[in-house]
Amino acid sequence: MEVAEQLSVFLENKPGVLARVCAALAEAGVNLRAICVSDTVDHAVVRFVPTDARRARDVLERGGALVVETDVLCVRLPDRPGALASLARKLGEAGVNIEYAYGSAGTGAPDGLLVFRVDDVERAKQVIG
């Protein structure tokens, strides 16, 4: 488990926009460890955990994007039924609210990476260990 910096940007919800953003980040040598895209009618909210948040923020801001930074927890969980339920139960019992989460596990991978936005990062760190 680690605390990481997540960047959020609002993008036009049009073909090719995400591709241009990802290409600009790639050209700057920034890899994305995790990404989540939520759509609205006119815009998309893109949340991601980059390998270099400062460089990613600079690239995005030079492109005219408004960037919001948030601390999130990146947790590796075993890819098996009940792993997330167990973690969510521990956090809930400790009074930590999970505001949102995203992640994945590859086919055949022993574990998955989950990104959690919680209301109390320090308490969550204590609970997760």
Domain termination site, one of 49, 70, 91: 70
CATH no. for residue 115? 3.30.70.260
Among 37, 55, 70, the domain-final residue is: 70
One domain, residues 79 and 100: yes
Predicted confidence band at 34 (pLDDT cuts at 50, 70, 90)? Answer: very high
Q: What is the mean pLDDT of the chain?
A: 94
Q: Residue 28's domain spans which residues?
A: 2-70
Residues 62 and 82 in one domain: no
Partners of 73 in beta bridges? 3, 116
Residues with Cβ < 8 Å from 37, sequence gap 6 or more?
18, 44, 45, 46, 47
109 pLDDT higher than 70? no
Which residues does 89 contact at the CB level (< 8 Å), separation at least 6?
A: none
In the structure, what pLDDT confidence band is assigned to residue 95 with cuts at 50, 70 and 90?
very high
Task: Answer whether residue 111 shows pLDDT above 90.
Answer: no
Residues 62 and 45 in one domain: yes
Give the residue from 48, 70, 92 where a domain finishes. Answer: 70
Q: Based on the structure, what is the number of domains in the chain?
A: 2
pLDDT at 42: 82
Q: Note the pLDDT of residue 40.
A: 82
Q: What is the CA radius of gyration of the chain?
A: 16
- Please report, for the domain that includes residue 16, its CATH number: 3.30.2130.10
Summarize the confidence of residues 71-94 as an average pLDDT: 95
pTM across the whole model = 0.90
Bridge partners, residue 34, by sequence: 49
The total number of residues written for the chain in this structure: 129
Give, in order, the Cα–Cα distances in Å from 114 to each of 14, 19, 41, 48, 62: 27, 23, 27, 12, 29
- In terms of domains, do 59 and 96 share one? no
Per-residue model confidence as pLDDT tens digits over 12-27? 989 999 999 999 999 9
> Looking at the predicted structure, is the pLDDT value of residue 106 above 80?
no
Q: Which residues of 53-62 are buried (b: 16+ CB within 10 A; e: fewer)?
A: beebbebbee
Residue 19, Cβ neighbours under 10 Å: how many?
Answer: 9
Q: Do 21 and 66 fall within a single domain?
A: yes
Do 62 and 19 share a structural domain? yes
